[in-house]
């Protein structure tokens, strides 16, 4: 390779690096915007700390989780996170992947039934996207 070839290769590589840096910045901004739209889960319920698992697509059908969103036209399934208190699943959070409406409930077992008490609610966010 001549000196001119090295210089051309160097310029091409640095142009590629600049392009990649811009791409990474754009992706970071997109990720930050996406994370801002996800409502925060409560860290405790009246002093009882809640340990949340990851958001996952809710299995369907599940009797005590509504499938479609009552705020937007999203057909579901919603996203589900389970919260543990003292190692036992005691809480559930259900979130619409489109409008981000979120309900957080405590599950109380009364006999064979699961009774849900809402402890937190986040209204749907504007600019609905499917």
How far, in Å, are 2, 8, 12, 91 from residue 5 at the CA level?
Answer: 5, 5, 11, 64
Per CB under 5 A, which region of 4-12, 25-33, 37-45, 92-100 contacts Zn ion? 92-100
Residues 19-48 that bind Zn ion (CB under 5 A): none
Q: How far is the CB of 71 from Zn ion (least distance, A)?
A: 5
Which region, judged by CB under 5 A, interacts with Zn ion, from 10-18, 30-38, 73-81, 110-118? 73-81
According to CB under 5 A, which one of 50, 58, 65, 74 is a site residue for Zn ion?
Answer: 74
Tokens of 59: 């299995």
Q: How far apart are CA 16 and CA 44, in angstroms?
A: 47
Q: Is 96 in the site for Zn ion (CB under 5 A)?
A: yes
Mapping DSSP to helix (H, G, I), strand (E, B) and coil, where does residue 37 land? helix
Tokens of 37: 């739209």
- Interaction site with Zn ion (CB under 5 A): 69, 71-72, 74, 96, 98-99
């Amino acid at each position: 390779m001549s000196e001119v070839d090295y210089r051309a290769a160097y310029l091409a590589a640095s142009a590629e690096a600049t392009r990649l840096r811009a791409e990474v910045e754009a992706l970071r901004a997109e990720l930050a915007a996406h994370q801002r739209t996800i409502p925060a889960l409560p860290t405790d319920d009246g002093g009882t700390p809640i340990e949340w698992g990851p958001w996952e697509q809710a299995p369907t059908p599940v009797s005590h989780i509504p499938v479609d969103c009552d705020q937007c036209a999203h057909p579901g399934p919603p996203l589900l996170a389970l919260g543990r208190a003292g190692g036992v699943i005691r809480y559930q959070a259900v979130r619409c992947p489109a409008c981000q409406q979120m309900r957080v409930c405590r599950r109380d077992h009364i006999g064979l039934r699961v009774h849900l008490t809402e402890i937190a609610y986040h209204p749907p966010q504007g600019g609905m996207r499917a």
